[in-house]
A and B are shown apart, each in its own frame.
Chain A
Amino acid sequence: MNKNLVLLAAVAAVAVGVAQFAYADPVSDKLVIDGKEMITRAPAPEGHPFKEVLSGWLFREPETRALEADSFANPGMLYVERGEEIWNTVDGAKGKSCASCHNDASETMKDVGAHYPKWDAETKRPINIELQIDKCRTEQMGAEAYKFDAADQKALTTYIKYQSFGTPVKLDLAKGDMQSWWDRGKKEYYTRTGQLNLACASCHEASMGRHIRADHLSQGQANGFPTYRLKQADMVSLHNRMRGCIRDTRAEMPKAFSDELMALEVYVTWRGTGLSVETPAVRQ
């Protein structure tokens, strides 16, 4: 383990008055939601640093785990419902809603979100669900692109991703230049940034399972995003969380949907290959 990180964690722990250094195993519980068992442990794809990829759910406290397991109590489901309303609401100059072209999302969007981000031949870069929505809005609906993290963007993304609920994450890296974006994302994942000199891997690979102050460090998987975060008591998008992590290293934050974060999204999503889409997951 990195010496600086240990030191930082030690100082932080002493300052707060808790000394939690011990590695704590992720739990072995099964996550069953509405009778559907989620894949929270999956064999890692070739070239992955871990043998097994683990859902962040396994690292949470019992109450947080229980909240995600109860699809009624999970406040994230409010946003799924709101997303469904947006799906069926006409917006923009052309008088169309999502449903005007895509009809019933439970059929047309089924399992779609489990394979994003994917290659977009037109823009020659990876496209995620938020950008795909914006593309539909500007090109097909005559509506404006959403502002990053607008409430409707988060709700609609959550609704679309929810149509893949339980489906294992799998990206197609053979399409277009996906592989080179993956390569770039991997490089970023291991690059230390910020005044604290931390890479994604410092916490989510080298220290996975350890505690940073009171936080039980997970593998930093993307399969639950957008996720209902107890801290914000709101949905949190993947790019918001990645920016937050980067801010916490005290580095300049890249813009949402920038090349830097799109590459990271491709790579981080791949690191969770085989895990069920848990959107809307519940995290701390």
Chain B
Amino acid sequence: MATPKPRVKVPKSAKAGETVVIKTLISHQMESGQRKDKDGKVIPREIIHKFACEFNGKPVFSCDMEPAISANPYFEFNAKVNESGKFKFTWEDDNGSVYTDEAAIEVS
């Protein structure tokens, strides 16, 4: 596929102190380094090795990822929100690229 593109699902609003469910998905082959091409040469590993979610600059959830994570990595986790603000999501690729996405939530 073209440049990895993230998708995130965050509720638009929540009550103060509520724990909300967050889902993220990103298109990525997650080349494991275990496969060989048709000439028998090992295809070098190229995966997203780190995912992180923060809210208003503070860490919420993160994951160290290994080649055993499936292509198009998916995460579902929770976040407890006490104030309105912005979630920031980052995915770090072995090739040095960092993919990001953001989502705002209104807390009442």
Contact = CB atoms under 8 A, between A and B. Distances in A.
Q: Do A and B contact each other directly (Cβ–Cβ < 8 Å)?
A: yes
A72 B74 CA distance: 10
Contacts of A155: 1
Contacts of B63: none
Given A78-B5, A78-B7, A234 B71 contact: yes
Contact of B25 (A73, A82, A234): A73
A151 B1 contact: yes
Contacts of B1: 78-79, 82, 151, 155
Contacts of B23: 72-73
Given A72-B9, A72-B23, A77-B7, A233 B2 contact: no
Contacts of A151: 1-2
B19 interface: no
A78 B27 contact: yes
A85 B5 CA distance: 11
B38 to A, nearest CB: 16
Interface string A64-81: 000000001101011101
Contact of A233 (B5, B71, B76): B71
Nearest to B73: A75
A25 to B, nearest CB: 29
Contacts of A85: 2
Interface residues of A, number: 13
A75 B72 contact: yes
A85 B74 CA distance: 21
Contact of B5 (A72, A73, A82, A234): A82
A75 B44 CA distance: 24
Contacts of B5: 78, 81-82
A233 B25 CA distance: 13
A76 to B, nearest CB: 9
B13 interface: no
Nearest to A67: B74
Nearest to A73: B74
A10 B27 CA distance: 40
Nearest to B74: A73
B70 interface: yes
Interface in B1-20: 1-2, 5, 7, 9
Interface string A111-126: 0000000000000000
A82 B74 contact: no
A85 B9 CA distance: 20
B67 to A, nearest CB: 13
B2 A75 contact: no
Given A73-B25, A78-B25, A233 B7 contact: no
Given A78-B7, A78-B72, 9 more contacts: A73-B25, A78-B1, A78-B26, A79-B1, A79-B27, A82-B1, A82-B27, A151-B1, A234-B71
Top-3 shortest CB links A-B: A233-B71, A75-B72, A78-B27
Interface of A: 72-73, 75, 77-79, 81-82, 85, 151, 155, 233-234
30 contacts: A72-B9, A72-B23, A72-B25, A73-B25, A73-B74, A73-B76, A75-B25, A75-B27, A75-B71, A75-B74, A77-B7, A77-B25, A78-B1, A78-B5, A78-B7, A78-B26, A78-B27, A78-B72, A79-B1, A79-B27, A81-B5, A81-B7, A82-B2, A85-B2, A151-B1, A151-B2, A155-B1, A233-B70, A233-B72, A234-B71
